[in-house]
Chains A and B, each alone.
Chain A
Amino acid sequence: MSTSRKQIILGAYVGGVNHHTVWSDPQAGSQIDFSTFKHVAQTAERGRFDFFFLAEGLALRERLGLIFDQDVVGRPDTLPVLSALAAVTEHLGLIGTVNATFNEPYELARQLSTLDHLSGGRAGWNVVTSFDAFTGANFRRGGFLDRKDRYTRAGEFLAAARELWDSWAVDAVAADRDTGVFLRDAKAGRFAFTGEQFDISGRFATPRSPQGRPVILQAGVSPQGRDFAAGGADAIFSPYHRLDEAQAFYRDIQARADRLGRPSGSVKLLPHASFVLGDSEADAAERHRDITRRQIGGRTAQILLETVWNRDLSGYDPDGPLPDVDPDPDGPPLAQGRARIAEDAHRRVAEWRALAEAAKYSLRDLAIHVFGRTEFVGTPAHVAERIDTFVQQDGSDGFIVGSHLTPTGLDEFVDKVVPLLQERGSLRAEYTGGTLRENLGIAPVEEVGADARVA
């Protein structure tokens, strides 16, 4: 095994609430039952993946004021599923997406610390910042946060959480029954944090966990999001898959981290990745065409384009030309509850018109072209080669892999692609680290000893 090769980081996600999941497949299973999550996690662990990953959405999506019924709807709560998975896996990291707007640091820091304890140091948190009033309608404070403040809150939230995680020294619990000393420090857990969003103090109720702090992920690409990640995250769930775009993002994040005084390689970049395998390139391409057409039927095509048009496009023939109306980005939102990356809708539509014109795309063809992308299509050998090359060329440090088919879709990736990545010397054959941090190659949290605590 060559030592200069970057080791590929792999995460696994269960496909869910979006058009990628083909729920109508006869083999498609439950999106809710624990058996589904157990199957995917154990498959990932068999493939020596670094972690299992769950997304989150705190309000059911709507379109034109009605609950959107075409994609998968509903999912279980993130942290209880991860905690249950800790019982049926041994090495796999467990990373949950949890919103920083509609939670409070004391409670969430405790839950994450608990997950870290109960998994023996395998917990991670993907910090997301949805703040909209639509989601807020499910919570006490409603949509209380301005868009511009979403990362202020997330940044303060993370700083407060760190204060809480660090509030117990590594050796605070003596539990020495002979001397009767349970706590070495009568002030263990003492904390105080004051900012624009939080003014909290007291004593934290959970001792330091095996990793000290869970691994932190971030998902979001705005300048504020990038700075947040560069300053405080261990990894980014990235949307970039084209090598040039991904390399530029990679360099940008490393430069931002560097300016903030973090050593190079402190922030791992992990785009999500789906795959379609075949016995030959032609076979894979054929399977891909078939899967994509099942993912994006006529109605789904209209709905995907609506995310940019912000107009009801149900009257436009999916097999006809693109809608001739202009987008209405400033109108009241047609769809609610979808995470969207801010962009210029007029410019995007103009690009699409040019593309459709040149390629003679129908509305549905365009939707398939734009939204139906599967990152890796080919024979297992080809897919392994492309994944490895992408990582070795600093497009990323690995991928978060998922399938259109729940829960068995990941099986063939693990059976066919993983052995080839291992042969290439780019993926571990056995777990070596004890904690998620160690498996990811992230520096341990500096230990806070009882003496080092500022009184």
Chain B
Amino acid sequence: MTTPNTPDPLHLAVALDGAGWHPAAWREPDARPTELFTARYWTDLVAEAEAGLLDFVTIEDALALQSTRFEGTDTRTDQVRGRLDAVLIASRVAPLTEHIGLIPTATVTHTEPFHVSKAIATLDFVSLGRAGWRAQVSRPAENAHFGRREHVPFTVEDLDRPDVAAAVAESFAEAQDFVEVVRRLWDSWEDDAEIRDAATDRFIDRGKLHYIDFVGPRFRVRGPSIVPRPPQGQPLVTVLAHATLPYRLGARAADVVYVTPRDHDDARAIVTEIRAEQRAAGRESETVHVFADLVVLLDESTAAARDRKARLDALDGAEYAGDALVFTGTAADLADTLQDWQRAGLTGFRLRPAALPHDLHAVTRDLVPELQRRGAFRTGYEAGSLRARLGLPRPDSRYATPTAAAS
């Protein structure tokens, strides 16, 4: 129940990856580095996030080994290396959880939209309407694992080079086509296509299955999907974005865009840019969430959090700084920041625990109660799909003919 004085509730997700986002997190006393590739580890983490009533978890993935180098592998042996397929982790956890949204990462550069579409649709079936997808463009290092593409080698410093900029623009254009195909395939069966009409010997009404006939400059896909329309109709599509091209992709194609502001004003500027892109894409009437990503180290005092970060940095031999702001402090300080940034137009946050399980526990056991005390976070899950939790209606299939009043 909201009263005029309570703030808008905010949405809260956590991003799970390995032992946490700090490269030395696996060395913490409560870390479980020998279990990173087990079902129990992932089940425990997601169950903890669910106990904290979070909106959803995301699971990182890539078709390459982790590396300190953008352009390829490294030879470090002192950081976590190796990951499991995120879609299958989410599927494995789905029957053991009930409410929390499950948003695995799947890349779009070397994969098949047909496969990704049916995998996420199936995750939506096994989770009874809690599936989403974080669409991710591949890094150049993944090319050699597939061997089917010309490779423009580049590093982060080369992003302004015209040939590199063109290659990057091309991969984002491809990503947009990919998302379009995935979404069309989710709509390719209307909701009531399965009729089981024994009288006419028809299992489906084939008029309610649709060829998507996507034809683009990079690929064509005919459809329909082999999987019926998933429970949510359209599982959530989410993207991480740091610049105009990915903002545009998010504004055109996604339901949630994760962004990495440095402060309140930066957050406002990013939200403004995404909203403008959203209008330009003709989607102003749709809900597009903008969540800020923050790496979090949470402790009883700011000093303790800073000390912990310093200790982890020393273990890793470098000061940790990623694409997102690193927050070190107390849960109450973080709650202040989240509410302040929320006023800049953000609708939620994706917190990246620096160390697991410590910072996940701090989110679910300290931050969430703090936000609840402030009336800014739910105190229980309501029944319903992940879309419903995020205020997104369940759309009709784009191919459905509106039921004519008089037919």
Please report A residues at the B interface, Cβ cutoff 8 Å: 23-24, 32-34, 38, 57-60, 66-67, 69-77, 79-81, 83-84, 86-88, 102-104, 106-107, 110-111, 113-115, 117-120, 137-140, 142, 168, 173, 175, 177, 180-189, 198-207, 297, 299-300
- Least distance between B191 CB and chain A CB atoms (Å): 12
Whether A138 lies near B223 (C-beta < 8 A) is yes
Instruction: Report B368 CB to chain A, min CB distance, Å.
Output: 26
In the complex, which residues of chain A have a beta carbon less than 8 angstroms from the beta carbon of B38? 117-118
Residues of A within 8 A of B76 (CB): 183, 186
Which of A57, A74, A177, A200 is close to B145, meaning CB atoms less than 8 Å apart?
A200
Residue of A nearest to B33 (CB): A175
Q: Is B11 part of the binding interface, using a Cβ–Cβ cutoff of 8 Å?
A: no
Of B194-202, B344-352, B389-397, the one touching chain A: B194-202
Given contacts A81-B126, A203-B64, contact A73 B88 (CB under 8 A): no
In the assembled complex, which residues on chain B have CB atoms less than 8 Å from the CB atom of A69? 202-206
Q: How far is the CB of B3 from chain A (nearest CB, A)?
A: 40
Q: Is the CB of A74 within 8 A of B122?
A: no
| Closest A residue by C-beta to B94 | A84
* A33 touches which of B29, B125, B145 (Cβ 8 Å): B125
CB distance from A93 to the nearest CB of B (A): 16
Q: Are B114 and A139 in contact (CB under 8 A)?
A: yes
Selected contact of B141 from candidates A57, A168, A198, A202, CB within 8 Å: A202
| B27: Cβ under 8 A from any A Cβ | yes
Q: Is there contact, CB below 8 Å, between A140 and B144?
A: no
Bound: A32/B28 CA distance, A: 43
How far apart sit A67 and B83, CA to CA, in the bound complex (Å)?
A: 39
How long is the Cα–Cα vector from A346 to B347 in the complex, in angstroms? Answer: 68
A-B interface pairs (CB < 8 A), number: 219
A299 B201 Cβ-Cβ under 8 A: yes
Residue from the list B33, B122, B203, B222 in contact with A81, Cβ < 8 A: B122
How far is the CB of B293 from the nearest CB of chain A, in Å? 22
A86 with B39: in contact, given A79-B88, A202-B64 (CB under 8 Å)? Answer: yes
One of B49-57, B224-232, B320-328, B378-386 at the interface: B224-232
B269 an interface residue at 8 Å Cβ cutoff?
no
Closest residue of chain B to A193 (Cβ to Cβ) is B147
Contact B77 A186 (CB under 8 A): yes
Which residue from B27, B29, B226 sits with its C-beta under 8 Å from A75?
Answer: B226
Can you sample 30 A-B contacts with CB below 8 Å? A23-B203, A24-B198, A67-B206, A70-B201, A70-B203, A73-B203, A77-B119, A77-B122, A79-B119, A86-B39, A87-B43, A103-B112, A104-B110, A107-B63, A114-B84, A117-B37, A117-B39, A118-B88, A120-B39, A137-B221, A137-B222, A138-B222, A177-B26, A182-B77, A182-B78, A182-B80, A189-B65, A200-B145, A203-B64, A299-B201
Evaluate contact between B123 and A107: CB separation under 8 angstroms: no
Contacts of B242 in A (CB 8 A): none
B224 touches A60 (CB 8 A): yes
Contacts of A186 in B (CB 8 A): 75-77
- With CB as the reference atom, state the residue of chain A lying closest to B119: A77
Q: Which residues of A contact B65 (CB under 8 A)?
A: 189, 203-205
- For window 121-152 of B, CB contacts with A under 8 Å fall at 121-123, 125-126, 128, 141, 144-148
| Chain A proximity of B60: nearest CB distance (Å) | 12
A102 to B226, CA, bound (A): 15
B84: chain A residues at CB < 8 Å are 113-114, 117-118, 206
In the assembled complex, the CB of A286 is this many whole angstroms from the nearest CB of chain B, namely 21
Question: How many angstroms between the C-alpha atoms of A67 and B93 in the bound complex?
Answer: 35
Interchain CB contact under 8 A, A181 and B78: yes
In the complex, B22 has a CB within 8 A of chain A: no
| Known contacts A114-B89, A140-B219, A299-B201, A177 near B110 by CB under 8 Å | no
A366 vs B393: C-alpha distance when bound (angstroms): 52
A72 — which chain B residues lie within 8 A by C-beta?
203
Q: Which residue of B111, B114, B196 has the most chain A CB atoms within 10 A of its CB atom?
A: B114
A73, B204: Cβ atoms closer than 8 Å: yes
Known: A24-B198, A118-B39. A205 touches B125 (CB 8 A): no
Smallest Cβ-Cβ distance to A184: which chain B residue: B77
Contacts of B33 in A (CB 8 A): 175, 177, 182
Interface residues of B in 15-54 (CB under 8 A from A): 26-29, 31, 33-34, 36-39, 42-43
Decide: A84 near B95, CB < 8 A? Known: A140-B112, A204-B65, A299-B201: yes
Contact assessment for B63 and A74 in the assembled complex, using a CB-CB cutoff below 8 Å: no
Determine the distance from Cα of A285 to Cα of B222 in the docked complex, in whole angstroms. 45
Task: Name the residue on A nearest B221 (C-beta).
Answer: A138
Closest-by-CB residue of B relative to A119 is B39
Residues of B with Cβ closer than 8 Å to A? 26-29, 31, 33-34, 36-39, 42-43, 62-66, 73, 75-85, 87-89, 91-96, 110-112, 114-115, 118-119, 121-123, 125-126, 128, 141, 144-148, 189, 194, 196, 198, 201-206, 209, 218-224, 226-228, 315
Residues of A within 8 A of B96 (CB): 87
Q: Which B residues touch A207, using CB under 8 A?
A: 37, 82
Most buried by A among B62, B141, B228: B228
Question: In the complex, what distance in Å separates the CA atom of A73 from the CA atom of B95?
Answer: 25
Nearest-neighbour CB distance to chain B for A375, whole angstroms, equals 25
With beta carbons under 8 angstroms apart, the residue of A80, A137, A188 that contacts B91 is: A80
Q: Whose C-beta in chain B lies nearest to the C-beta of A136?
A: B222
Which A residues touch B36, using CB under 8 A? 175
- Chain A minimum-CB-distance residue to B27: A177
Taking A118-B39, A297-B201 as contacts, is the C-beta distance between A111 and B85 under 8 angstroms?
yes
Chain A contacts for B209, CB-based, 8 A:
60, 67, 73
Complex Cα gap A392–B251 (Å): 64
- Contacts A80-B119, A204-B65 given: A87-B88 contact, CB under 8 Å? no
* Min C-beta distance of B218 to chain A, whole Å: 8
Q: Is the CB of A200 within 8 A of B144?
A: yes
Contacts of A66 in B (CB 8 A): 206
Contact B144 A201 (CB under 8 A): yes
A contact residues around B89 at 8 Å (CB):
83, 114, 118
A199 neighbours in B (Cβ, 8 Å): 147
For A57, list chain B residues within 8 Å (CB).
226
Given contacts A58-B226, A114-B89, A177-B26, contact A138 B63 (CB under 8 A): no
- The answer on a CB contact under 8 Å between B92 and A74 is no
Of A188, A203, A206, A297, the residue contacting B85 (CB under 8 A) is A206
Cβ contacts under 8 Å, A120 to chain B: 39
Q: Which residues of A contact B39 (CB under 8 A)?
A: 86-87, 117-120
A77 and B227 form a contact (CB under 8 A) = yes
Which B residue's beta carbon lies closest to that of A71? Answer: B203
Q: Which residues of B contact A188 (CB under 8 A)?
A: 81-82
Residue among B87, B91, B315 having the largest count of chain A Cβ atoms under 10 Å: B91
Q: Contact: A202 with B145, CB < 8 Å?
A: yes
What are the residues of chain B within 8 A of A139 when measuring CB–CB? 112, 114, 221
Min CB distance A102 to B, Å, is 7
Supposing A77-B122, A177-B31 touch, asked if A200 and B91 sit within 8 A by C-beta, the answer is no
Q: Is the CB of A38 within 8 A of B95?
A: yes
**Given A23-B196, A71-B203, A103-B115, do A173 and B146 touch, yes or no (CB 8 Å)?**
no
Which residue among B28, B114, B147, B220 has the maximum number of chain A CB atoms within 10 Å of its CB? Answer: B147
Residue of A nearest to B315 (CB): A180
| Residue among A75, A168, A175, A207 with max Cβ neighbours from chain B (10 Å) | A175
* Complex Cα spacing A84 to B189, Å: 23
Kindly provide the distance from the CB of B183 to the nearest chain A CB, expressed in whole angstroms: 15
Tell me the bound Cα distance from A110 to B226 in angstroms: 23
Q: Which residues of A contact B221 (CB under 8 A)?
A: 137-140
Q: Which residues of A lie under 8 Å from residue B75 when comparing CB positions?
A: 186-187
Contact A175/B26 with A186-B75, A202-B141 known, Cβ cut-off 8 Å:
yes
Q: Among the listed B31, B85, B91, which residue makes an inter-chain contact with A110, where contact means beta carbons less than 8 Å apart?
A: B85
